[in-house]
Chain A
Amino acid sequence: MNAIKFLIAAYIATWLVHGVYLGSLLQRFSKLRQQLRELGKGK
């Protein structure tokens, strides 16, 4: 069933792209929160 491979590939690709993007969002969030905390301490 060669066609099923494509189905699986499509579903994996979808969630891979979303996962990477959401991951990058979370990473950017934590970096910014860190910066904000440091600035707060600096004052």
Chain B
Amino acid sequence: MKRVFPILWVLTALLLAYGTYQALVVAPTERTMGDVQRIFYYHVPCAWTAFCLFFTNLFASVAYLIRKNVRADALAVASAEVGVVFCTIVLVTGPIWARPVWGIWWTWDIRLTTTLVLWLIYVSYLVLRRFSDTAQTPILAAVLAIFGALDVPLVYFSIWYFRTQHPQPVMGKGGSLAPAMLHAFLINLLAFSVFGFMVCWSRYRLEMLKREVEQAQALESLAGAGARPAASLPLSRSAR
């Protein structure tokens, strides 16, 4: 496992480099928008990856509530944090793309707005985790994740209807993708998915390492106090 990890990272980097090359050099210039359209090759794959990560968080949260497995909780933290990172990129590249093309920084585009709300929900999730340092934190956070997931369809519908009442510009390709563009897009989609997976996995390993250190510290303080290290530590309760 230890040797595989760096190799996978190298492969990921190569895949990303290839994807960027495809996006910037190989893909043909879009007729109406010009070269700025190439942001699309980053913007949409990052959105896709962010949604996958948030879905992973939901899955891990539910798994934690059912089985109280510490690995599920670590995965929940990791996927939420990395999801926010990718989500941030979507929200940053979106306006950068919109400004030269449509002349405005923001539009209540359904995908962009849903992404914004998701970002807000998951930042609040991370804040809850940060501000709550007790043994109950994983449960509270998992419950919040479920609330967030229930909210998303409602967000989508309310924005969808709002837009039918208040017409707004639509961000996106507008039209079908030429085969060469599709090729570049798919490669970037794959590259960012793999990248997201690797970052999440790294964050997961970090989280498990953190718990290992905390457990060792607890053992240490118990031993230092002269008492026998207990067979079951308070921390391991969450691992049951």
A and B touch in the complex (CB under 8 A): yes
Please give the residue numbers on chain A whose beta carbons come within 8 Å of chain B beta carbons, in ascending order.
1-4, 6-7, 9-11, 13-14, 17-18, 21-22, 25, 28-29, 32-33, 35-36, 39, 42-43
Interface size, chain B (Cβ < 8 Å)? 33
Using CB atoms, name the residue of chain B closest to A20. B85
Asked if residues A6 and B99 are in contact (CB atoms below 8 Å), the reply is: yes
How would residues 97 to 117 of chain B score, 1 for a CB under 8 Å from any chain A CB and 0 otherwise? Answer: 101110000000000000000
Asked if residues B210 and A10 are in contact (CB atoms below 8 Å), the reply is: no
Asked if residues A17 and B88 are in contact (CB atoms below 8 Å), the reply is: yes
A-B pair number, CB within 8 angstroms: 77
Contacts of B213 in A (CB 8 A): 32, 35-36, 39
B140 contacts the other chain (CB 8 A): no
Interface CB pairs A-B, < 8 A, 11:
A4-B36, A6-B36, A6-B100, A10-B42, A10-B96, A11-B42, A17-B92, A18-B199, A22-B199, A32-B210, A35-B217
B151 contacts the other chain (CB 8 A): no
Contacts of B85 in A (CB 8 A): 17-18, 21
Q: Are A7 and B92 also in contact (CB < 8 A) when A17-B85, A25-B202 are?
A: no
Q: How far is the CB of B22 from chain A (nearest CB, A)?
A: 13
Contacts of B89 in A (CB 8 A): 13-14, 17-18
Q: Are A13 and B96 also in contact (CB < 8 A) when A25-B206, A39-B216 are?
A: yes
Q: How far is the CB of B103 from chain A (nearest CB, A)?
A: 12
- 3 A-B pairs closest in CB distance: A3-B36, A3-B100, A10-B39
B184 contacts the other chain (CB 8 A): no
Query: Which residues of chain B (195-240) have a CB below 8 Å from chain A?
Result: 199, 202-203, 206, 209-210, 212-213, 216-217, 220, 223
**Which of A3, A14, A42 is within 8 Å of B220, CB to CB?**
A42
Q: Interface of chain B, helix or strand or loop or mixed?
A: helix
Asked if residues A9 and B96 are in contact (CB atoms below 8 Å), the reply is: yes
CA distance A24 to B212 in the complex (A): 19
CA distance A2 to B203 in the complex (A): 38
Contacts of A18 in B (CB 8 A): 85, 89, 199
Q: How far is the CB of A6 from chain B (nearest CB, A)?
A: 5
**Which of B36, B92, B97, B220 is within 8 Å of A39, CB to CB?**
B220
CA distance A7 to B41 in the complex (A): 11
Q: Are A6 and B199 also in contact (CB < 8 A) when A11-B42, A29-B206 are?
A: no
Contacts of A11 in B (CB 8 A): 20, 24, 39, 42
CA distance A33 to B210 in the complex (A): 9
Contacts of A21 in B (CB 8 A): 82, 85, 199
Using CB atoms, name the residue of chain A closest to B39. A10
B62 contacts the other chain (CB 8 A): no
